[in-house]
Amino acid sequence: MDILQLPATIESINSRVDGTWTIKVGTQELREEDAMILLKLNRKLGYFLFKESIITESDLLTIPEIKPEFSGDKTPSQRLRARMFVYYQTTKGTKEGFNDWYVSALEKIGQSYLDKMEKDEPEQ
């Protein structure tokens, strides 16, 4: 298991439309071994731990165990929302109004399933 501990600075924090966050972290020059581990961990789901001093073994004993709800980077609903956002942005050319469109689109999807159930019900 690769655990990477680097001296770093949190350079910026931004919220995203889908409720997730981006954290930009800058490091000092990396040793070659650390750079290799960092590249290997790129785009992997993991856990971010930040402390203003070196993390010791005793620090690790106090970290609560976190069990991922899903094995991927995002939940299925987060993936769907992100895909819908990309669709909206490419067809409308803007980010503005996405939330209203998203709620309306979900309602239409939900209604289409209700309509299918009504068609599939046997007549009495």
Per-residue pLDDT band at 77 (split at 50, 70, 90): confident
Query: How many Cβ atoms are within 10 Å of 81's Cβ, its own excluded?
Result: 19
Judged against a pLDDT cut of 80, whether residue 79 lies above it is answered with yes
Judged against a pLDDT cut of 80, whether residue 28 lies above it is answered with yes
Q: Tokens 């997730």 map to which residue?
A: 20
Tokens of 42: 């790129």
Per-residue pLDDT band at 23 (split at 50, 70, 90): very high
Share the mean pLDDT of the chain: 84
Q: What is the pLDDT of residue 71?
A: 57
Judged against a pLDDT cut of 70, whether residue 119 lies above it is answered with yes
- What's the 3-state SS for 44-75? CCCCCCCCCCCCCHHHHHCCCCCCCCCCCCCC
Judged against a pLDDT cut of 80, whether residue 123 lies above it is answered with no
Q: What is the pLDDT of residue 13?
A: 94
Q: Which residue has the higher pLDDT, 119 or 82?
A: 82
Q: Which residue has the higher pLDDT, 10 or 74?
A: 10
